[in-house]
Chain A
Amino acid sequence: MCDSCGCGDPHVVSFDVHERMLASNDRTAAHNREHFKDHGVVAVNLMGSPGAGKTAVLEATARALGREARLGVLAGDLATDNDATRIRAAGIVAESITTGSACHLDAEMVHRGLHRLSWRTLDYLFIENVGNLVCPAVYDLGQDVNVVALSVTEGEDKPLKYPTMFRKVDLVLLTKIDLLPQLPEISVDRIAENLRLVMARPTMLVVSARTGAGIDEWIAWLRGQGRPRLTACAGAAGAGAFV
Protein backbone atom coordinates (compact mmCIF):
# COMPACT_ATOMS: atom_id res chain seq x y z
CA MET A 1 0.00 0.00 0.00
CA CYS A 2 1.31 3.42 -0.95
CA ASP A 3 1.49 5.48 2.22
CA SER A 4 3.88 8.14 0.99
CA CYS A 5 2.07 10.14 -1.69
CA GLY A 6 -1.39 9.50 -0.32
CA CYS A 7 -2.75 7.95 -3.52
CA GLY A 8 -3.86 4.88 -1.58
CA ASP A 9 -2.94 2.60 -4.49
CA PRO A 10 -2.51 -0.91 -3.04
CA HIS A 11 -0.07 -1.80 -5.83
CA VAL A 12 2.44 0.94 -5.04
CA VAL A 13 5.12 0.39 -2.38
CA SER A 14 7.69 2.80 -1.07
CA PHE A 15 11.24 1.39 -1.24
CA ASP A 16 14.04 3.15 0.66
CA VAL A 17 17.36 3.04 -1.18
CA HIS A 18 19.35 5.80 0.56
CA GLU A 19 22.51 5.02 -1.34
CA ARG A 20 25.03 7.31 -2.99
CA MET A 21 24.51 7.44 -6.74
CA LEU A 22 28.21 6.88 -7.06
CA ALA A 23 28.20 3.83 -4.78
CA SER A 24 29.44 1.60 -7.60
CA ASN A 25 32.25 4.05 -8.47
CA ASP A 26 33.12 4.34 -4.76
CA ARG A 27 33.48 0.55 -4.51
CA THR A 28 35.87 0.45 -7.48
CA ALA A 29 37.79 3.43 -6.06
CA ALA A 30 38.17 1.59 -2.74
CA HIS A 31 39.48 -1.41 -4.69
CA ASN A 32 42.03 0.80 -6.50
CA ARG A 33 43.05 2.38 -3.19
CA GLU A 34 43.62 -1.06 -1.69
CA HIS A 35 45.89 -1.94 -4.63
CA PHE A 36 47.92 1.25 -4.17
CA LYS A 37 48.24 0.70 -0.43
CA ASP A 38 49.32 -2.94 -0.84
CA HIS A 39 52.08 -1.96 -3.25
CA GLY A 40 53.25 1.20 -1.47
CA VAL A 41 52.24 3.46 -4.34
CA VAL A 42 51.23 7.07 -3.63
CA ALA A 43 48.43 7.95 -6.05
CA VAL A 44 47.98 11.61 -6.97
CA ASN A 45 44.85 12.79 -8.78
CA LEU A 46 46.05 15.84 -10.74
CA MET A 47 43.21 18.03 -11.95
CA GLY A 48 42.89 21.44 -13.59
CA SER A 49 41.47 23.35 -16.56
CA PRO A 50 42.55 22.51 -20.11
CA GLY A 51 45.88 24.28 -20.55
CA ALA A 52 46.54 24.81 -16.83
CA GLY A 53 49.91 23.11 -17.22
CA LYS A 54 49.22 19.66 -15.77
CA THR A 55 51.39 17.83 -18.30
CA ALA A 56 54.17 20.43 -18.00
CA VAL A 57 54.16 19.96 -14.22
CA LEU A 58 54.54 16.21 -14.72
CA GLU A 59 57.43 16.76 -17.15
CA ALA A 60 59.13 19.02 -14.59
CA THR A 61 58.43 16.41 -11.88
CA ALA A 62 60.08 13.74 -14.05
CA ARG A 63 63.17 15.94 -14.44
CA ALA A 64 63.41 16.70 -10.73
CA LEU A 65 62.41 13.37 -9.17
CA GLY A 66 62.66 10.80 -11.97
CA ARG A 67 66.13 9.56 -11.01
CA GLU A 68 65.48 8.88 -7.36
CA ALA A 69 61.85 7.71 -7.39
CA ARG A 70 59.86 5.52 -9.71
CA LEU A 71 57.15 7.61 -11.33
CA GLY A 72 54.27 6.65 -13.58
CA VAL A 73 51.35 8.45 -15.17
CA LEU A 74 47.87 7.57 -16.34
CA ALA A 75 46.83 10.46 -18.55
CA GLY A 76 43.14 11.07 -19.21
CA ASP A 77 42.59 12.56 -22.62
CA LEU A 78 39.40 13.03 -24.64
CA ALA A 79 40.80 12.22 -28.04
CA THR A 80 44.59 11.99 -28.30
CA ASP A 81 47.66 10.26 -26.88
CA ASN A 82 49.59 13.55 -26.84
CA ASP A 83 50.00 13.95 -23.07
CA ALA A 84 51.21 10.39 -22.49
CA THR A 85 53.63 10.75 -25.42
CA ARG A 86 55.06 13.96 -23.92
CA ILE A 87 55.42 12.36 -20.50
CA ARG A 88 57.13 9.24 -21.90
CA ALA A 89 59.57 11.56 -23.70
CA ALA A 90 60.40 12.99 -20.26
CA GLY A 91 61.53 9.50 -19.26
CA ILE A 92 58.71 8.08 -17.16
CA VAL A 93 56.17 5.38 -17.92
CA ALA A 94 52.81 6.66 -19.07
CA GLU A 95 49.61 5.34 -20.60
CA SER A 96 46.61 7.21 -21.93
CA ILE A 97 43.05 6.73 -20.83
CA THR A 98 41.05 7.94 -23.82
CA THR A 99 37.68 9.03 -22.52
CA GLY A 100 35.95 9.88 -25.80
CA SER A 101 33.39 12.49 -24.89
CA ALA A 102 33.51 11.85 -21.14
CA CYS A 103 34.50 14.99 -19.25
CA HIS A 104 36.15 13.21 -16.31
CA LEU A 105 37.87 10.01 -15.25
CA ASP A 106 36.05 7.52 -13.08
CA ALA A 107 37.41 4.71 -10.91
CA GLU A 108 36.62 2.01 -13.48
CA MET A 109 38.56 3.83 -16.23
CA VAL A 110 41.54 4.10 -13.87
CA HIS A 111 41.24 0.42 -12.98
CA ARG A 112 41.29 -0.56 -16.66
CA GLY A 113 44.23 1.82 -17.21
CA LEU A 114 46.17 0.07 -14.45
CA HIS A 115 46.02 -3.15 -16.46
CA ARG A 116 48.11 -1.48 -19.16
CA LEU A 117 50.71 0.18 -16.92
CA SER A 118 53.48 -1.43 -14.84
CA TRP A 119 52.36 0.41 -11.73
CA ARG A 120 53.14 -2.06 -8.92
CA THR A 121 56.78 -1.05 -8.61
CA LEU A 122 56.08 2.70 -8.67
CA ASP A 123 56.61 5.10 -5.79
CA TYR A 124 54.21 7.65 -7.27
CA LEU A 125 51.36 7.21 -9.71
CA PHE A 126 50.01 10.46 -11.13
CA ILE A 127 46.54 10.30 -12.57
CA GLU A 128 46.27 13.27 -14.91
CA ASN A 129 42.57 13.93 -15.07
CA VAL A 130 40.66 15.37 -18.02
CA GLY A 131 41.02 19.16 -18.26
CA ASN A 132 37.93 20.39 -16.42
CA LEU A 133 37.28 22.15 -13.09
CA VAL A 134 33.79 20.74 -12.58
CA CYS A 135 33.18 17.04 -13.24
CA PRO A 136 36.45 15.41 -12.04
CA ALA A 137 35.81 16.72 -8.51
CA VAL A 138 32.79 14.43 -8.16
CA TYR A 139 34.54 11.09 -8.80
CA ASP A 140 36.76 9.25 -6.34
CA LEU A 141 39.45 7.35 -8.24
CA GLY A 142 41.17 5.69 -5.28
CA GLN A 143 43.83 8.43 -5.00
CA ASP A 144 45.67 9.38 -1.83
CA VAL A 145 45.71 13.08 -2.59
CA ASN A 146 43.95 15.55 -4.84
CA VAL A 147 45.98 18.30 -6.48
CA VAL A 148 44.72 21.01 -8.80
CA ALA A 149 46.90 22.97 -11.20
CA LEU A 150 45.70 26.56 -11.57
CA SER A 151 47.61 28.79 -13.95
CA VAL A 152 48.08 32.50 -13.31
CA THR A 153 46.49 33.24 -16.70
CA GLU A 154 43.15 31.81 -15.57
CA GLY A 155 42.36 34.77 -13.33
CA GLU A 156 42.08 35.27 -9.61
CA ASP A 157 38.49 34.22 -9.05
CA LYS A 158 38.61 30.57 -10.18
CA PRO A 159 38.47 29.28 -6.57
CA LEU A 160 35.23 31.23 -6.08
CA LYS A 161 33.75 30.12 -9.39
CA TYR A 162 34.57 26.43 -8.86
CA PRO A 163 34.28 25.98 -5.09
CA THR A 164 33.44 22.26 -5.31
CA MET A 165 36.81 21.56 -6.92
CA PHE A 166 38.91 23.80 -4.66
CA ARG A 167 37.13 22.60 -1.53
CA LYS A 168 38.11 19.06 -2.40
CA VAL A 169 41.81 19.40 -3.13
CA ASP A 170 44.73 18.97 -0.74
CA LEU A 171 47.04 21.25 -2.71
CA VAL A 172 46.79 24.01 -5.31
CA LEU A 173 49.74 24.32 -7.66
CA LEU A 174 49.75 27.86 -9.01
CA THR A 175 51.46 27.32 -12.36
CA LYS A 176 53.13 29.49 -15.02
CA ILE A 177 54.38 32.05 -12.51
CA ASP A 178 57.12 32.97 -15.01
CA LEU A 179 54.31 34.81 -16.86
CA LEU A 180 53.50 37.10 -13.91
CA PRO A 181 55.59 40.03 -15.25
CA GLN A 182 53.29 40.05 -18.29
CA LEU A 183 50.18 40.00 -16.09
CA PRO A 184 50.34 43.09 -13.86
CA GLU A 185 46.62 42.79 -13.06
CA ILE A 186 47.06 39.36 -11.45
CA SER A 187 47.90 39.22 -7.74
CA VAL A 188 49.11 35.96 -6.20
CA ASP A 189 47.96 37.30 -2.82
CA ARG A 190 44.40 37.74 -4.07
CA ILE A 191 44.40 34.16 -5.43
CA ALA A 192 45.60 32.95 -2.01
CA GLU A 193 42.90 35.05 -0.35
CA ASN A 194 40.21 33.44 -2.54
CA LEU A 195 41.55 29.99 -1.70
CA ARG A 196 41.24 30.79 1.99
CA LEU A 197 37.55 31.45 1.43
CA VAL A 198 36.85 27.98 0.03
CA MET A 199 39.53 25.54 1.18
CA ALA A 200 39.32 24.01 4.65
CA ARG A 201 43.13 23.79 4.89
CA PRO A 202 44.37 26.21 2.23
CA THR A 203 47.64 25.03 0.75
CA MET A 204 49.22 26.54 -2.34
CA LEU A 205 52.61 26.28 -4.00
CA VAL A 206 53.71 28.65 -6.74
CA VAL A 207 55.62 26.95 -9.54
CA SER A 208 56.93 27.37 -13.04
CA ALA A 209 57.52 24.19 -15.01
CA ARG A 210 59.47 26.28 -17.52
CA THR A 211 62.00 27.85 -15.13
CA GLY A 212 61.84 25.19 -12.42
CA ALA A 213 60.84 27.77 -9.77
CA GLY A 214 59.00 26.14 -6.87
CA ILE A 215 59.48 22.61 -8.22
CA ASP A 216 61.70 21.68 -5.24
CA GLU A 217 58.89 22.67 -2.87
CA TRP A 218 56.42 20.60 -4.91
CA ILE A 219 58.75 17.60 -4.70
CA ALA A 220 59.11 18.14 -0.93
CA TRP A 221 55.32 18.19 -0.63
CA LEU A 222 55.08 14.94 -2.60
CA ARG A 223 57.66 13.34 -0.31
CA GLY A 224 55.53 14.37 2.63
CA GLN A 225 52.73 12.17 1.22
CA GLY A 226 55.05 9.15 1.06
CA ARG A 227 54.31 5.61 2.13
CA PRO A 228 56.62 4.00 4.76
CA ARG A 229 59.41 3.14 2.33
CA LEU A 230 59.77 6.84 1.50
CA THR A 231 59.61 8.25 5.01
CA ALA A 232 63.35 8.86 5.09
CA CYS A 233 62.69 11.79 2.77
CA ALA A 234 62.13 15.26 4.14
CA GLY A 235 58.60 16.35 4.97
CA ALA A 236 56.92 19.29 3.32
CA ALA A 237 56.46 21.44 6.41
CA GLY A 238 57.49 25.01 5.85
CA ALA A 239 58.20 24.61 2.14
CA GLY A 240 57.06 27.09 -0.48
CA ALA A 241 54.28 29.61 -0.40
CA PHE A 242 51.75 27.86 1.80
CA VAL A 243 48.77 30.10 2.43
Chain B
Amino acid sequence: MHEYSLVQAMFDQIGDAVRANHALAVRRVHVRIGRLAGVEPDLFRTAYDVFRIKTFCSEAPLVIEDAAGDELLLERLELEVP
Protein backbone atom coordinates (compact mmCIF):
# COMPACT_ATOMS: atom_id res chain seq x y z
CA MET B 1 0.00 0.00 0.00
CA HIS B 2 2.75 2.43 -0.89
CA GLU B 3 0.09 4.37 -2.82
CA TYR B 4 -0.65 6.24 0.42
CA SER B 5 2.94 7.38 0.87
CA LEU B 6 3.09 8.38 -2.81
CA VAL B 7 -0.02 10.52 -2.40
CA GLN B 8 1.51 12.04 0.72
CA ALA B 9 4.64 12.97 -1.28
CA MET B 10 2.41 14.40 -4.03
CA PHE B 11 0.58 16.57 -1.50
CA ASP B 12 3.91 18.08 -0.48
CA GLN B 13 4.53 18.95 -4.14
CA ILE B 14 1.03 20.37 -4.53
CA GLY B 15 1.51 22.43 -1.35
CA ASP B 16 4.69 23.93 -2.82
CA ALA B 17 2.84 24.84 -6.04
CA VAL B 18 -0.09 26.35 -4.13
CA ARG B 19 2.24 28.56 -2.09
CA ALA B 20 4.38 29.55 -5.07
CA ASN B 21 1.29 30.69 -6.99
CA HIS B 22 -0.54 32.18 -4.00
CA ALA B 23 -3.43 29.92 -5.00
CA LEU B 24 -6.69 29.78 -3.05
CA ALA B 25 -7.48 26.21 -3.99
CA VAL B 26 -6.72 23.42 -6.45
CA ARG B 27 -9.40 22.83 -9.07
CA ARG B 28 -7.94 19.73 -10.74
CA VAL B 29 -4.92 17.44 -10.41
CA HIS B 30 -3.38 15.70 -13.43
CA VAL B 31 -1.03 12.77 -12.88
CA ARG B 32 0.58 10.22 -15.17
CA ILE B 33 1.04 6.64 -13.96
CA GLY B 34 2.86 4.15 -16.17
CA ARG B 35 1.88 0.49 -16.28
CA LEU B 36 5.33 -0.50 -15.07
CA ALA B 37 5.43 2.03 -12.22
CA GLY B 38 4.35 -0.53 -9.63
CA VAL B 39 1.37 1.62 -8.70
CA GLU B 40 -2.26 0.59 -8.82
CA PRO B 41 -4.31 3.52 -10.21
CA ASP B 42 -7.48 2.55 -8.31
CA LEU B 43 -5.59 2.40 -5.01
CA PHE B 44 -3.90 5.68 -5.82
CA ARG B 45 -7.32 7.27 -6.37
CA THR B 46 -8.62 5.83 -3.09
CA ALA B 47 -5.59 7.20 -1.25
CA TYR B 48 -6.08 10.60 -2.91
CA ASP B 49 -9.74 10.66 -1.83
CA VAL B 50 -8.68 9.97 1.76
CA PHE B 51 -5.95 12.60 1.79
CA ARG B 52 -7.79 15.44 0.11
CA ILE B 53 -10.55 15.80 2.73
CA LYS B 54 -10.39 19.31 4.23
CA THR B 55 -7.34 20.28 2.17
CA PHE B 56 -6.80 22.69 -0.74
CA CYS B 57 -7.65 19.71 -2.96
CA SER B 58 -11.03 18.94 -1.39
CA GLU B 59 -12.87 20.09 -4.54
CA ALA B 60 -10.22 18.93 -7.04
CA PRO B 61 -10.95 15.87 -9.18
CA LEU B 62 -7.97 13.62 -9.93
CA VAL B 63 -7.24 12.88 -13.58
CA ILE B 64 -5.02 9.83 -14.07
CA GLU B 65 -3.36 9.48 -17.45
CA ASP B 66 -2.11 6.05 -18.48
CA ALA B 67 1.41 5.49 -19.86
CA ALA B 68 3.44 2.56 -21.14
CA GLY B 69 6.60 2.87 -19.02
CA ASP B 70 7.42 3.45 -15.36
CA GLU B 71 6.31 7.09 -15.28
CA LEU B 72 5.06 8.39 -11.95
CA LEU B 73 4.51 12.08 -12.47
CA LEU B 74 2.58 14.98 -11.07
CA GLU B 75 1.96 16.56 -14.47
CA ARG B 76 -0.19 19.63 -14.01
CA LEU B 77 -2.45 21.48 -11.63
CA GLU B 78 -5.37 23.78 -12.27
CA LEU B 79 -5.17 26.42 -9.56
CA GLU B 80 -7.72 28.93 -8.38
CA VAL B 81 -5.96 32.26 -7.97
CA PRO B 82 -7.19 35.58 -6.53
**B1:A135 contact, CB within 8 angstroms:** yes
Interface size on A, residues (CB 8 A): 32
* Chain B contacts for A19, CB-based, 8 A: 13, 73-74
A12-B78, A25-B9 known; A164+B72 contact, CB < 8 A:
no
List 28 contacting pairs A-B, 8 Å CB cutoff, sorted by A: A9-B80, A11-B24, A11-B82, A12-B78, A12-B80, A13-B79, A13-B81, A14-B77, A15-B21, A16-B75, A17-B13, A17-B17, A18-B73, A18-B76, A19-B73, A20-B72, A21-B6, A21-B74, A22-B9, A24-B12, A25-B9, A102-B5, A134-B2, A138-B6, A138-B39, A139-B2, A164-B36, A164-B37
A160 at the interface (CB under 8 A from B): no
**B13:A5 contact, CB within 8 angstroms:** no
A163 to B69: give the CA distance in the assembly, Å.
12
* Chain A contacts for B79, CB-based, 8 A: 12-15
- B1-21 toward A: CB 8 Å interface, digit per residue (1/0)? 110011001101100010001
Residue of A nearest to B29 (CB): A17
**B2:A104 contact, CB within 8 angstroms:** yes
**B2:A13 contact, CB within 8 angstroms:** no
* Chain A contacts for B78, CB-based, 8 A: 2, 4-5, 12-15
**Chain B nearest Cβ from A105, distance in angstroms:** 11
**Chain B nearest Cβ from A192, distance in angstroms:** 22
Query: B: which residues have CB within 8 A of A?
Result: 1-2, 5-6, 9-10, 12-13, 17, 21, 24, 27-28, 31, 36-39, 70, 72-82
